[in-house]
């Protein structure tokens, strides 16, 4: 039997990147999937790809900053597949790389709306459903900055610190209810969000060392997605409050060894080079 056989899962921000990789990994393990994103074209393409491979998948256009959209997303999952078992708050955006005062309030607000308000809305809607049925798994995505301040990435990093604290508090509040509230930090995932970086004028050179970091520890989205499958499965039953950091100490050491071997063997660099787009705010 597949790990998620008979389960229904919602994944926000799932038309591409890590979100789509999670959706596909869930589908491969037997789950019915509801993908959610703001852009219809990419969402429809993602749903069509899964359906063409024989998976049960539906799409729902959703801006997670709008509670009515998120409520509609949950309703679509239940009306289409009959139940809702797993909810992954994956949708997230970043602000340009640069000092906090050089970034416009509008850009900061967009990060807050998606990374904080969106996670709150998703958690609120999912938890209401889960509490009514006495079961469910809520997984919130973390990221760089969840364990401490990150200068020049203050908006994104601070939002992830909020998500971590919010998730841990929520888990404690609803301990013993049959619901697992968890968080996952996928580490460095090689997607457009990582490799196409906006930088404030004058800060673009500070981004370039990230190329080396990606060579050491970057992973294609399919790799951390497999860990999310494990978190969504029965393996984490009664492990409410679980926080998983994919970039473990062992993976840190393995990344160093991999890059050292590449250097010794003169193998070509296989990871993408970061493209920096310069902006004024």
Strands (DSSP E) along 110-189, which ranges? 136-141, 179-185
Residues forming beta bridges with residue 59, ordered by sequence position: 35
Active site residue 160: yes
Catalytic member of 7, 24, 160, 164? 160
CA atoms within 13 A on the CB side of 268: 3
Catalytic member of 97, 152, 156, 174? 156
Active site residue 137: no
Which class for 79: exposed (0-12), middle (13-18), buried (19 or more C-beta within 10 A)? exposed
Residue labelled with tokens 């997230």: 92
d(CA 155, CA 104): 11
d(CA 216, CA 38): 33
d(CA 222, CA 19): 10
Q: Is 98 left (phi over 0), alpha (psi -120 to 50) or beta?
A: left
d(CA 141, CA 167): 10
Q: Residues with catalytic annotation?
A: 156, 160
């Amino acid at each position: 039997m597949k790990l998620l056989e008979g389960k229904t899962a919602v994944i926000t921000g799932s038309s591409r990147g890590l979100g789509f990789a999670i959706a596909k990994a869930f589908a491969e393990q037997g789950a019915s999937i509801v993908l959610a994103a703001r852009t219809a074209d990419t969402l429809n393409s993602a749903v069509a790809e899964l359906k063409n491979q024989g998976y049960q998948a539906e799409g729902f256009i959703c801006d997670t900053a709008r509670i009515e959209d998120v409520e509609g997303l949950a309703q679509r999952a239940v009306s289409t597949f009959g139940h809702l078992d797993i909810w992954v708050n994956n949708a997230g955006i970043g602000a340009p790389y640069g000092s906090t005062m050089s970034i416009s309030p509008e850009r900061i607000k967009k990060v807050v709306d998606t990374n904080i308000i969106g996670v709150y809305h998703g958690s609120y809607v999912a938890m209401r459903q889960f509490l009514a049925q006495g079961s469910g798994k809520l997984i919130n995505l973390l990221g760089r900055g969840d364990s401490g301040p990150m200068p020049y990435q203050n908006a994104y990093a601070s939002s992830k610190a909020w998500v971590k604290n919010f998730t841990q508090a929520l888990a404690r509040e609803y301990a013993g209810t049959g619901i697992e509230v968890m968080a996952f930090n996928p580490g460095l995932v090689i997607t457009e969000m990582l490799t196409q970086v906006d930088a404030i004028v004058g800060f673009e050179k500070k981004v370039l060392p990230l190329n080396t970091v990606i060579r050491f520890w970057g992973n294609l989205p399919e790799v951390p997605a497999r860990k999310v499958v494990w978190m969504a499965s029965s393996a984490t039953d009664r492990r409410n409050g679980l926080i998983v950091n994919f970039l473990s100490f062992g993976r840190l050491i393995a990344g160093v060894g991999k890059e050292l071997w590449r250097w010794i063997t003169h193998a070509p660099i296989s990871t993408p080079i970061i493209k920096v787009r310069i902006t004024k705010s």
